[in-house]
Chain A
Amino acid sequence: MVPLSYYLILSGILFACGVLGFLIKRNIITIFMSIELMLNGVNLSFVAFAAHWHALSGQVFVFFVMVVAAAETAVGLAIIIAVYRTRETLNVDQVNLLKL
């Protein structure tokens, strides 16, 4: 019998790690993976709540999140490849043309 809050705290920790990775890491791909980590954390909390409220739509929503994450990954990685082609670097600090 695990209290709901334990699941939520675990989800929170995963999400926080994702944000931290986004802020700290310099490689574009690693940043992208941090985003995936965030999404996973959120998925966990969805499933936990679905179990708590006995509502299956929580799990369905996780399904949709995964679909969208997959699509997003595909497109995002394609963009990263295009950026790599022009900039020859994967360092996010050097992709800063859009500045004032």
Chain B
Amino acid sequence: MLHLSLFLIFGAVAVAGAINLLVQRHPINSALSLIAVMAALAAEYLLLGAEFVAAVQVIVYAGAVMVLFVFVIMLLNAGEEEHTKGSRVAIILGVPGMLVGSLLVAWTLVRQSGTSELEIGALPGAPSTIGWLLFHDFLLPFEVTSILVLIAIMGAVVLASKPEQTSEPRKEA
């Protein structure tokens, strides 16, 4: 009972945030809605006992990634969305396609999952256990992702830096 009501509350917040992201015209509003979604999801993780993941979600995702988003929006001074001619294909084909796809998936899921139920705090994921896994079973992916992050850092720095002034422009012949 408790589990169900908590799940529904936080689920509602997540869905509302998602819809708000779609509806808002100014990107900063969308960004803030997304933060709300992430927070709600962190609560959902906690309901399932994934403590470490929930913490990381708030710290990294909502706290770092979304902040970066907000920084960029403010840096670029993004304004409200313009109403330009969009792509017909996207609307006419894409949306129905997506709807069909998701309905199919939903239908399958409902059929297959049956009545299996999850309890509150079903699988406790303490940092120690997660850490143990990370450094034993998943050591290679762990190290590789650290390199990936390094590369991403370097890439981001290069891409976003101002282009250097090259030598004086060549005279036209």
A and B in direct contact, judged by CB atoms within 8 A: yes
Q: Give chain A's interface residues, CB within 8 Å of chain B.
A: 1-10, 12-21, 23-27, 29-30, 32-34, 36-37, 40, 43-44, 47-48, 50-52, 54, 56-57, 59-60, 62-64, 66-75, 77-82, 84-85, 90-91, 93-94
Interface pair A77/B72, CB less than 8 Å apart: yes
Interface pair B156/A63, CB less than 8 Å apart: no
Listed A/B pairs (5) with beta-carbon separation below 8 Å:
A1-B118, A7-B118, A9-B110, A12-B109, A40-B38
Which of B31, B72, B152 makes the CB contact (< 8 A) with A71?
A: B152
Interface pair B76/A56, CB less than 8 Å apart: no
> Assuming the A-B contacts A37-B18, A93-B87, are A9 and B65 also in contact, with contact meaning beta carbons closer than 8 angstroms in the complex?
no
Write the chain A residue with the least CB distance to B151: A71
Q: Is the interface of A mostly helix, strand, loop or mixed?
A: helix
Having A1-B117, A23-B91, A24-B95, one finds 6 other A-B pairs with CB under 8 Å, namely A8-B109, A15-B102, A27-B27, A32-B69, A63-B53, A71-B149
Q: Which residues of A contact B50 (CB under 8 A)?
A: 47, 50-51, 59, 62
Q: Which residues of B contact A30 (CB under 8 A)?
A: 21, 27, 30, 81
Q: Which residues of B contact A80 (CB under 8 A)?
A: 72, 76
Q: Which residues of A contact B65 (CB under 8 A)?
A: 36, 69-70, 73
Which of B18, B86, B102, B123 makes the CB contact (< 8 A) with A50?
A: B123
Interface pair B148/A20, CB less than 8 Å apart: no
Interface pair B86/A75, CB less than 8 Å apart: no
Instruction: State the CA gap A24–B89 with chains docked (Å).
Output: 11
Q: Is the interface of B mostly helix, strand, loop or mixed?
A: helix
Q: Which residues of B contact A62 (CB under 8 A)?
A: 50, 53
Interface pair A26/B81, CB less than 8 Å apart: yes
Write the chain B residue with the least CB distance to A72: B152
Write the chain A residue with the least CB distance to B163: A85
Shortest Cβ distance from residue A37 to the other chain B in the assembled complex, whole angstroms: 6
B85 sits at the interface (CB 8 A): yes
Interface pair B21/A17, CB less than 8 Å apart: yes
Which of A8, A68, A75 makes the CB contact (< 8 A) with B113?
A: A8
Instruction: State the CA gap A37–B48 with chains docked (Å).
Output: 20
Instruction: State the CA gap A13–B21 with chains docked (Å).
Output: 13
